[in-house]
Each structure stands twice: as C-alpha cells, then as structure tokens.
Amino acid sequence: MAKKKTSSSGKAARRRARKKKGVIETRRKKEFTYRGFTMEELSTMSFDEILELLPSRARRSYTRGLNDEQQAFLDRLRKTEEDVVRTHRREIVILPEFVGKKIAVHNGKEFVQVPIKPEMIGHALGEFALTRGIVSHSGPGVGATRSSKYMPLK
C-alpha cells in the first residue's frame, strides 16, 4: 500500500491555504490621476489651473496664444457633436477636455483616428499618428536572377 507523503514544502502549503480561502481577489483598477488630480477634479478646474499642470513646452504654447487654425480646431472640437473631428494640427497639446473624443490626425498621407485617453494629457496629437510605417521586405522581386535568391555564406 502506498504511503501518503505528509511533509510538503512551504510553497505548496501556502497555495493550498489560498485555494481553501476561496476565490483569489481580483485587483482593482487603479484610478487615473494626472499630477495628483483625478479626471473629475481636472474637469472642474479652470483653463489657467490646468495650464500650470502641463509640461513647460505645452504651457508656453498655450500662454503665447494659438494661431487662427489651432483656435478654429479647438472651437470646432468643443462645440461639435460629431464622432470624429479631423485635423492637420499635429502640434496641439491634449487637454483634459479632449478625453473621450476621437480625433483624426493627418500623418502626411491619411487621417489616423486617435481615441483620446486620459494618459495622453500633455502630449501633442502628432505623437499618436505615426508618420513612418513599418517596412517589411519580402523575397527578391520580378526580374531577379535565380542565383540572387541564395545568399552565399562567407
């Protein structure tokens, strides 16, 4: 008759205790904060208070004032009920009021749809619409000789 092993490692004992305890608790998703402020607090802040939280370059671009095209985009974004707002303005810094909207940013060839998330606050729109694609090379092209398929090992 086989004898049951009574001594077990501490790790296995802890695992059995966890299973006995019940379902392992799932982790709660950490609430987003930007520089210590939640999204609710950011939405109640004035524009000047939000500017103080932004990085220096973004803060300077807004304090110097926006040009006509940038201001037109901001006005259109604030008042529109459309699903997607298209723009060529890649340099505009994302503010908390943009969160939840979709912006189609031009990358030089086409408009790339970017859903704005809270983590994007303080970054420029152009950072999320890449201008250079991934190059994937295949085999030799039409007209290549048969010998060019094989690379000599030196």
Give this prediction's pTM. Answer: 0.70
d(CA 103, CA 96): 14
Residues 65-86, mean pLDDT to the nearest whole number: 91
pLDDT of residue 90: 95
Query: What radius of gyration, in Å, describes the C-alpha atoms of the chain?
Result: 27
Tell me, rounded to whole angstroms, the distance of Cα 49 from its chain centroid. Answer: 24
Categorize the per-residue pLDDT at 4 as very low, low, confident or very high, splitting at 50, 70 and 90.
Answer: low
CATH homologous superfamily for the domain 33-128? Ribosomal protein S19/S15 (3.30.860.10)
pLDDT of residue 124: 95
The residue extents of the domains of the chain are 33-128
Tens digit of each residue's pLDDT (9 = 90 or more) over 95-108:
999 999 999 999 99
Tens digit of each residue's pLDDT (9 = 90 or more) over 76-97:
999 988 889 999 999 999 999 9
Q: Over 90: is that where the pLDDT of 13 sits?
A: no
Task: Calculate what percentage of the chain has a pLDDT beyond 90.
Answer: 60
Return the H-helix or E-strand segment holding 102. Answer: strand 102-106
